[in-house]
């Protein structure tokens, strides 16, 4: 798998609390937008993001964002 699977063509918008989050970069996780280890054996690894405050985040759902874990609207071009 050289390209990530598109989990959904929209961001996962959710409120997060302070802590570390492992964003799924392969698109195969059953726990979207977070990693569940489904990437094992591939070139993909989760992207670890640390949140320092409670806030609403738009996690990339299409896995093609130029903004890493966060949506940049790339899903509109797929």
The predicted-structure confidence for 23-73, as pLDDT tens digits, reads as follows: 999 999 999 999 999 999 999 999 999 999 999 999 999 999 999 999 999
Task: Decide if 5 is inside a domain.
Answer: no
Distant-in-sequence, close-in-space partners of 78: CB < 8 Å, separation ≥ 6: 6, 9, 62, 64
Task: Decide if 34 is inside a domain.
Answer: yes
Backbone angles phi, psi at 76, to 5 degrees: -70, -15
| Averaged pLDDT for residues 4-11 | 97
Domain that holds residue 48: 12-65
Determine the pLDDT at residue 2.
84
Determine the pLDDT at residue 34.
98
Peptide bond into 33 cis (omega under 30): yes
- Using an 8 Å Cβ cutoff, are 15 and 54 in contact? yes
Q: Name residue, tokens 């937008």.
A: 33
Task: Decide if 75 is inside a domain.
Answer: no
Task: Decide if 24 is inside a domain.
Answer: yes
Task: Decide if 61 is inside a domain.
Answer: yes
């Amino acid at each position: 798998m050289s390209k990530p699977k598109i989990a959904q063509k929209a961001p996962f918008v959710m409120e997060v609390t302070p802590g570390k989050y492992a964003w799924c970069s392969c698109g195969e996780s059953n726990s979207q937008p977070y990693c569940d280890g489904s990437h094992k054996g591939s070139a993909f690894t989760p992207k670890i993001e640390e949140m320092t405050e409670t806030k609403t985040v738009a996690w990339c759902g299409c896995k093609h964002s130029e903004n890493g874990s966060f949506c940049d609207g790339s899903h509109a071009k797929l």
